[in-house]
Structure 1
Amino acid sequence: MLSGENPHGREFRAWPGTRLAVREALVNVLAAAGLGIEPASRALLLDLIHDNLGFPLTIPEQATGRDQLIEVINACAKTDGGLNALADAVRLMRPESPESDWVRRLVHQPRTHDLLPETELMRLRSILSGLVPARLAVLTRRAAGTAVPPREVRDAWGAFCAFLDFNTPANGLPPALAFVEFVAADCGGTIGDELRDWNTAQARRLQAEAGLAELRADREPDRAAVSRLHLMIVVQQDAIDADLHVVSHWRQEDPAEWPPARGGTVTVQGDQLEHHVDALIVDAERAWSEFPGEVALEFVLPRPLLNLPVHLWCKEHETGDPRPLFLDYPIVVRSLERMRSRQWHRAWRIRWEALMTDPSADRVYFCRTEDTGERHRLDAILSDVQWVMMVLAAAPPSRPRPGEDELAAGLRSGLPALLWHPEASLDLLREVVTWLVGNGGLGDLPARVQDSRRAAFRNTTIPVDLRIARNLVILWDDPSRLVFLDGAPYRPGTPDERAS
């Protein structure tokens, strides 16, 4: 390859020839742009190349335009200054065009493939060829970063080859090497060690050691963190017909990625909500079939719908034997109003951090009926940063009561966790909640509530009556998992729908 200088000013060594992959890319770019395929265009391209070189090239005649273009590229690649002459010719024929810029970069910026010895590539191919990690699609998305990931790759080697054509980001670590690192972490064992050794050597060769070290440092916490995927379902009432509900969903496929792409929007009748959610969950389980970790369901609801009995819904109705959702998932509701009200987010994040730092039971406030007897009395109580969770004295009404509303006070004060029951007495509710959050249980309350719902079916000897657990409603709001509710991108291939 001819010497060139990348945009960061680093000088690259010259190579004795231009690799086949680069020549093929040049042919594809020029052919797609209509340059050199038709005889007149090819003749003009050749004239400009000859003028730039100062002498003519000998080009064998071929039967098709593409074959002839291949001969032109090969002749330029074998001639000192030939590819530079080609790039200048394309710039003159297509000034400031994408194809001109792409040709210039192919000529002057060596790709990762060109800088790696063939022996090293063959060694990597022997490891990755035929290797299909269970989460191959997830790993390619991670390695692509903000770029569009390669599609329709059959194995890890195919994905690696696709990444060879990606530009190197500012940290200096080529996406191809980032992909190898993710595969190494995913596979583990002997294969993982061998891939990491290979990556370390290539990063040193490419002067990308700092970028690799940064990536490895960033990925370390993933092993210790809880590996959990979420299906977030947002339900809104139609602006005209209150019996119509607009349903959107965000399905996470990578525990390290949030937000995922929006999955689409459907409008359904109220009596069809549970069945539509059933279909979303079944589709999610199919996508999660290779995932070995935990999953959770989140329903983001507006205030009028917060008492929807989502905790009692079932899945797989089509089998004739629907299964309760709580047997398989922690189920929580979240506040649509708070997600949209950015003026509440600072307080919300502060209280969430406090909850994660100190999930002790003495941080739960049990609301009393007299707390709402005086306007803003509850607001004053909850302004104490000790509180991170509140147990409501009653299920929240569909409309707020200004100045004396439990739900509004909790949301505006930033409390990330709220809990209520539609009919249980305050004394019984206090007893059950105190048992649930004891011994640090507040930190993962949704899982504790799920366990209590399942335990209510078993003859388990415990100090409290868990029968009320079936109807407990837990609002559990993690401010790190927000979604864009207006104008968000949709998952590729998932069009908007409207169902009756």
Structure 2
Amino acid sequence: MVNVLAGAGLAVDPAGRALLLELIHDNLGFPLTVPDQVTGRDHLIEVVNACAKTEGGMVALADAVRLMRPESRESDQVRRLVHQPRMHDLLPEPELWWLRARLTGVVPPRLSALLRKAAGPADPPADIRDAWDAFCALSDFNTTPDGLPPALAFVEFVAAKCAPALAGELRHWNTEQARRLQAEAGLAALRAEREPESPEPARLHLMIVVQPDGIDPGRHLVSYWRQDDPEEWPPARGGLDTVTGDQLERHVDMLVVEAENAWAEYRGEVRLEFVLPRSLLNLPVHLWCKEHETGDPRPLFLDYPIVVRSLERMRSRHWHRAWRLRWEAMMTDPSAERVYFCTAEDTGERHRLDAILSEDQWVVMVLAAAPASRPRPGEDELAAGLRSGLPALLWHPEASLDLLREVVTWLVDGGALGDLPARVQKSRCAAFRKMTIPVDLSVVRNLVVLWDDPARVVFLDSPPFRPGPPPGSADERGRAS
């Protein structure tokens, strides 16, 4: 508890400690006797000891921290330490020896993801060598009074990835330990859970949100959501940084490399998504590179499908019903006949395009030109597409409409519309090989794909919980606590 309070800055803030004590007194209804100390940490020890010896004192402390640091990681940790029992001496030593003999050296697929899944909202250590290491780390984690200890949940996850013989042994052992800890209900509930059925192959996403700074137009707020488990969405928010325009590509490079370190054990597909406001939709994110530090940066599109997403639509809940309906229609029937190609005449009359897109046939639209940074009410292609619920919009900064129609028709031919981002990525790579095909693939290099999956939205006002990038890697003035 003292470590958490010190991490919240109270060990070096005398005024903060004084306010903390005042709030504790208010919550209790009477003052505590807390001796002063020379160092701030020693004073925090006195505060925690005084609360622990007083009926209702720890709850009063948790409420005080919540008021001083609302929705912060420290507030959540204090709440869990107060309200959830800590598992001391979780299991007898003979049981631990038995388990150690079976988990040492065992590295199941996606070990890090299994560890994070078992830990729940807590932050597990990153330096885990095998399943036994992970179990030991989780043995000290808190659990709800009527739930399953995270360490036992982890054993269950490992059993699901093991050979049948070892899996049976681990499940039998887990059943006995859950009975010992009176956690049979939690284990039964975990075993009753079924893996969700997914209509598409499992993949991971790195979603990067870029917003203009409200004060300085030359700076941007960058946050990210990194998915480490393909069955979990949304993941914890990764951080919040303030970055100048000329630093954006390097900052994204850092986030991508950091994600690859976390994904080192994952063998499936990963994708990059940039959630942008209208004013930034023409950022050339599809041309950005990673690994600048090597002196030979590598284009992102060589390794990932890259798409942009609409920040305005993600925030506009009243657009989501139409959005979900069109997405389901596109996944059900991803045919080329569902792509609408805009022309200059479509915006010549106010709301003409809105009327056209109201037909359920259309799920994708190719814009006649790159969207302007500001909308044109009643005759704006981007706004009409978003409000009509079209989940995919495409445009090119300079290609002619005839050439664009030819290339997009080729891209979506044969039902490829259902996974257009992957088709575009493969075509960008193929453009380097100068393959003999009926279209000019060089056009695809600058094709912008707005691809919005309504099943993966995030709450942009949620606080960052995942530890941010290492100090010195971005503008420290913009880092949020």
User: TM-score band, normalised by the shorter chain?
Assistant: 0.7 to 0.9
Q: Distance in 2 between matches of 1:147 and 1:341?
A: 31
Q: Distance in 1 between matches of 2:227 and 2:141?
A: 27
Helix, strand or coil at the partner of 2:433:
coil
Residue 497 in structure 1 maps to residue 481 in structure 2: no
Q: Distance in 1 between matches of 2:183 and 2:478?
A: 52
Q: Distance in 1 between matches of 2:346 and 2:275?
A: 27
Q: Distance in 2 between matches of 1:421 and 1:223?
A: 32
* Cα drift, residue 476 of structure 1: 0.6
Q: Distance in 2 between matches of 1:180 and 1:131?
A: 12
CA shift in 2, pair 1:125/1:222, >3 Å: farther
CA shift in 2, pair 1:127/1:429, >3 Å: same
Q: Distance in 2 between matches of 1:355 and 1:323?
A: 33
CA shift in 2, pair 1:318/1:175, >3 Å: closer
Aligned partners of 1:112 and 1:174 also within 8 Å: no
Aligned partners of 1:252 and 1:258 also within 8 Å: yes
Q: Distance in 1 between matches of 2:98 and 2:210?
A: 51
* Cα drift, residue 401 of structure 1: 0.6
Helix, strand or coil at the partner of 1:403:
coil
Q: Distance in 2 between matches of 1:350 and 1:252?
A: 25
Helix, strand or coil at the partner of 2:476:
coil
Q: Distance in 2 between matches of 1:225 and 1:208?
A: 35
Taking the TM superposition and a 5 Å limit, the aligned residue runs for 1:289-304 are 289-304=264-279
Taking the TM superposition and a 5 Å limit, the aligned residue runs for 1:46-61 are none
Counterpart of 1:348 in structure 2 is 323
Q: Distance in 2 between matches of 1:327 and 1:186?
A: 31
Helix, strand or coil at the partner of 2:223:
strand
Q: Distance in 1 between matches of 2:143 and 2:438?
A: 61
* Cα drift, residue 313 of structure 1: 1.4
* Cα drift, residue 176 of structure 1: 3.2
Counterpart of 2:291 in structure 1 is 316
Counterpart of 1:95 in structure 2 is 55
Say which of 438, 446, 458 aligns to 2:433: 458
CA shift in 2, pair 1:188/1:378, >3 Å: farther
Q: Deviations over 1:139-177 (max 9, x none)?
A: 22212334565787664334435347643575x544333
Query: Aligned partner of 1:497: which letter?
Result: E
Q: Distance in 1 between matches of 2:410 and 2:175?
A: 51
Taking the TM superposition and a 5 Å limit, the aligned residue runs for 1:118-157 are 121-133=96-108, 135-146=110-121, 149=124, 155-157=130-132
Counterpart of 2:281 in structure 1 is 306
CA shift in 2, pair 1:265/1:148, >3 Å: closer
User: Any unmatched runs of 5+ in structure 1?
Assistant: 1-89
Helix, strand or coil at the partner of 1:456:
helix
Helix, strand or coil at the partner of 1:498:
helix
480-489 vs 398-407, greater mean Cα deviation: 480-489
Q: Distance in 1 between matches of 2:83 and 2:378?
A: 66
Residue 389 in structure 1 maps to residue 361 in structure 2: no
* Cα drift, residue 207 of structure 1: 8.1
CA shift in 2, pair 1:190/1:465, >3 Å: farther
CA shift in 2, pair 1:489/1:465, >3 Å: same
CA shift in 2, pair 1:174/1:262, >3 Å: closer
CA shift in 2, pair 1:352/1:202, >3 Å: farther
Taking the TM superposition and a 5 Å limit, the aligned residue runs for 1:166-205 are 166-167=142-143, 173-187=148-162, 191-192=166-167, 194-196=169-171, 198-199=173-174
Q: Deviations over 1:212-258 (max 9, x none)?
A: 56545645347985232222222222234433222222222222232
Aligned partners of 2:111 and 2:265 also within 8 Å: no
Q: Distance in 2 between matches of 1:212 and 1:424?
A: 58
Counterpart of 1:331 in structure 2 is 306
Q: What TM-score, normalized to structure 2? A: 0.73
Q: Deviations over 1:372-397 (max 9, x none)?
A: 11111111221222222111111111
* Cα drift, residue 281 of structure 1: 1.7
Higher relative contact order (CA 8 A, sep 6+): 2
CA shift in 2, pair 1:459/1:203, >3 Å: same
Helix, strand or coil at the partner of 1:457:
helix
CA shift in 2, pair 1:137/1:343, >3 Å: same
Helix, strand or coil at the partner of 1:124:
helix
Counterpart of 2:247 in structure 1 is 272
Counterpart of 1:469 in structure 2 is 444
Helix, strand or coil at the partner of 2:270:
strand
Counterpart of 2:228 in structure 1 is 253
Aligned partners of 1:359 and 1:440 also within 8 Å: yes
Aligned partners of 1:233 and 1:298 also within 8 Å: yes
Q: Distance in 1 between matches of 2:392 and 2:207?
A: 17
Aligned partners of 1:268 and 1:498 also within 8 Å: no
Helix, strand or coil at the partner of 1:321:
coil
Q: Distance in 2 between matches of 1:128 and 1:119?
A: 14
Q: What TM-score, normalized to structure 1? A: 0.71
221-230 vs 234-243, greater mean Cα deviation: 221-230
Counterpart of 1:359 in structure 2 is 334
Give the share of equivalent positions with the same residue, in percent.
72
Aligned partners of 1:302 and 1:336 also within 8 Å: yes
Root-mean-square deviation over aligned CA pairs = 3.6
* Cα drift, residue 403 of structure 1: 0.3
Helix, strand or coil at the partner of 2:195:
helix
Residue 435 in structure 1 maps to residue 435 in structure 2: no
Aligned partners of 1:228 and 1:296 also within 8 Å: yes
Q: Deviations over 1:278-298 (max 9, x none)?
A: 222222222222222221111
Q: Distance in 1 between matches of 2:417 and 2:145?
A: 41
Say which of 349, 354, 357 aligns to 1:379: 354
Q: Distance in 1 between matches of 2:121 and 2:478?
A: 33
User: Any unmatched runs of 5+ in structure 2?
Assistant: 1-49, 60-79
Aligned partners of 2:240 and 2:464 also within 8 Å: no
Q: Deviations over 1:436-486 (max 9, x none)?
A: 112221111110100111111113232322221111100011122222323
Aligned partners of 2:223 and 2:241 also within 8 Å: yes
* Cα drift, residue 112 of structure 1: 9.9
Counterpart of 2:208 in structure 1 is 233
Q: Distance in 2 between matches of 1:200 and 1:436?
A: 53
Q: Deviations over 1:29-73 (max 9, x none)?
A: xxxxxxxxxxxxxxxxxxxxxxxxxxxxxxxxxxxxxxxxxxxxx
192-201 vs 299-308, greater mean Cα deviation: 192-201
Aligned partners of 2:108 and 2:131 also within 8 Å: yes
Helix, strand or coil at the partner of 1:229:
strand
CA shift in 2, pair 1:489/1:92, >3 Å: closer
303-312 vs 278-287, greater mean Cα deviation: 278-287
